[in-house]
Amino acid sequence: MNRVCQILGITKPVVQAPMLWITSPELVAAVSNAGGLGVLGFNAGTDVRRDTAEETAADMRAAIRRTKELTDKPFGIDIVPASADAAGFSTGIVDIMREEGVKTMVLAGESFQESDVVPFKEEGFTIIARQLNPSIRDSKQLEAWGVDIIVATGCDEGGCMPCGSTGTMMQVALLADAVEIPVLAAGGIINEEFARASAILGAEGAFAGTRFILSKECRAAEATKRNLLETPQDDFVIFTQWGGTSKWRSTPNSVVLAAVEANKAGNLDPAQGSYYESELKGNLDAGVNSGNSVTSLIRSIDSCADIVADLARGYE
Ligand SMILES: Cc1cc2nc3c(=O)[nH]c(=O)nc-3n(C[C@H](O)[C@H](O)[C@H](O)COP(=O)(O)O)c2cc1C
């Protein structure tokens, strides 16, 4: 049992990365039952888009309770740092974590403040820190504040990618060298071979998103899954958003192609369409279908148990 397993109370060092709506209780519980750590994302398991902190918190309570019905193993919850969350989404969710006894949080964001970390550590939470744009400096600071595990996210990842040019394997090597606490590899960890490559460079576990979209238990639409499986790496399209602070990689569809055109015109803030419509409902031209570039190497849609076991072999 390695350090990641000891810290998280799991048997296989595989964390399912949070992905908004598609990380439903069924997916999270399947990963946790397989020995990994499932993580509920914002809007977990709901069928509607929530606008208020109160509604989101109420949904999260229902998602936590449903997850507990499906597993008695540990699972985590994704939150953004309170310092970057004026609307109070995180605060409401953390209150519910306390009430429901969920002790592991994935803290996802950047420009973390001491107050985003230290009070939670003093309270006994386990913290996996996922910097959107990881740096050695910030990783050392997070370690000094007491974070338990650092995610080394490279620009290879699916979803909202780091804006820098450092890929997953480089990021793993850099951060594992910089901190004493365990590092998880995020970005393109889709099978045992990628997991083992990251382990050689210092990762002690995987933080995998895209691979779990292509699982039997993931609630993403079949059309969405097939689209990821059938898109070769050179067909993925990258565009920027939010004033250029965020990058996305998506399969080609009308929203994404429009975003690329908007980028050329200097507009770095195009609407990205709706993940909800594309990933959950399978209406690919209504939004973004994001994944890493190696989805064409994923041969089949497998159970979470098989995926967790496959990735974990890379860290043995
Ligand atoms: C469709 C999709 C949605 C995502 N949504 C979130 C999210 O809501 N919050 C978050 O912190 N990260 C999100 N991510 C990033 C993942 O948590 C994780 O860092 C990434 O998936 C790891 O790279 P991989 O997809 O290559 O395995 C998302 C990723 C994908 C592919």
| Total domain count, the chain | 2
Residue nearest to atom 20 of ligand 1 (CA): 209
- Which of 19, 60, 105 maximizes ligand 1 atoms within 8 Å of its Cβ, making it the mutation to test the pocket? 19
173 and 279 housed in the same domain: no
pLDDT in single tens digits along all 316 residues of the chain: 799 999 999 999 999 999 988 899 999 999 999 999 999 987 666 666 677 888 888 889 999 999 999 999 999 999 988 888 887 888 889 999 999 999 999 999 988 999 999 999 999 999 999 999 999 999 999 999 999 999 999 999 998 899 889 999 999 999 999 999 999 999 999 999 999 999 999 999 999 999 999 999 999 999 999 999 999 999 999 998 877 777 899 999 998 899 899 888 888 877 667 788 899 899 999 989 999 999 999 999 999 999 999 999 999 9
Q: Is ligand 1 within 6 A of the CB of residue 16?
A: no
262 and 155 housed in the same domain: no
Look at phi and psi of residue 159 and say left if phi exceeds 0, alpha if psi is from -120 to 50, else beta. left
Domain-located, residue 224? no
CATH code, 98? 3.20.20.70
211 and 246 housed in the same domain: no
Domain-located, residue 292? no
Q: What is the pLDDT of residue 176?
A: 98
Domain-located, residue 226? no
Domain-located, residue 191? yes
With H, G, I as helix, E, B as strand and everything else as coil, classify residue 199: helix
Q: Is ligand 1 within 6 A of the CB of residue 314?
A: no
Q: Is ligand 1 within 6 A of the CB of residue 159?
A: yes
Q: What is the CA(87)–ligand 1 centre distance, in A?
A: 22
User: By residue range, what is the domain housing residue 271?
Assistant: 237-286
166 and 33 housed in the same domain: yes
Taking a C-beta distance cutoff of 8 angstroms, is the pair 30, 302 a contact? no
**Judging by beta carbons within 10 Å of its beta carbon (0-12, 13-18, 19+), is residue 232 exposed, middle or buried?**
exposed
Taking a C-beta distance cutoff of 8 angstroms, is the pair 56, 81 a contact? no
28 and 95 housed in the same domain: yes
Domain-located, residue 170? yes
193 and 263 housed in the same domain: no
Q: What is the CA(316)–ligand 1 centre distance, in A?
A: 25
Domain-located, residue 294? no
Q: Is ligand 1 within 6 A of the CB of residue 157?
A: yes
The DSSP code for 59 is H
Q: Bridge-partner residues for 161, per DSSP?
A: 247
Q: Is ligand 1 within 6 A of the CB of residue 130?
A: yes
Q: What is the pLDDT of residue 48?
A: 64
Q: What is the CA(2)–ligand 1 centre distance, in A?
A: 24
User: How many residues belong to the chain?
Assistant: 316
172 and 242 housed in the same domain: no
Taking a C-beta distance cutoff of 8 angstroms, is the pair 106, 16 a contact? no
241 and 114 housed in the same domain: no
Q: What is the CA(45)–ligand 1 centre distance, in A?
A: 16
Q: What is the pLDDT of residue 271?
A: 67
Residue 55's φ and ψ, nearest 5 degrees, are -65, -40
Q: What is the pLDDT of residue 227?
A: 97
List helix spans (H) across 152-235. Answer: 168-178, 192-200, 210-213, 222-229
E-strand spans in the chain?
A: 14-16, 38-40, 75-79, 104-109, 126-131, 149-153, 160-161, 183-186, 205-208, 237-241, 246-250
31 and 64 housed in the same domain: yes
Domain-located, residue 228? no
Q: What is the CA(76)–ligand 1 centre distance, in A?
A: 15
Domain-located, residue 173? yes
25 and 109 housed in the same domain: yes
Q: What is the pLDDT of residue 246?
A: 79
Q: Is ligand 1 within 6 A of the CB of residue 109?
A: no
Compute the distance between CA of residue 151 and CA of residue 164 in angstroms, rounded to an integer: 15
170 and 38 housed in the same domain: yes
Q: Is ligand 1 within 6 A of the CB of residue 39?
A: no
Q: Is ligand 1 within 6 A of the CB of residue 290?
A: yes
User: From the alpha carbon of 106, which atom of ligand 1 is closest?
Assistant: 11
> Among positive and negative, which fits the CA dihedral 103, 137, 109, 113?
positive
Q: What is the pLDDT of residue 87?
A: 79
Q: What is the CA(158)–ligand 1 centre distance, in A?
A: 6
115 and 170 housed in the same domain: yes
Angle at 272 between CA 270 and CA 276, to 5 degrees: 160
**Judging by beta carbons within 10 Å of its beta carbon (0-12, 13-18, 19+), is residue 296 exposed, middle or buried?**
middle
Q: Is ligand 1 within 6 A of the CB of residue 173?
A: no
Q: Is ligand 1 within 6 A of the CB of residue 251?
A: no
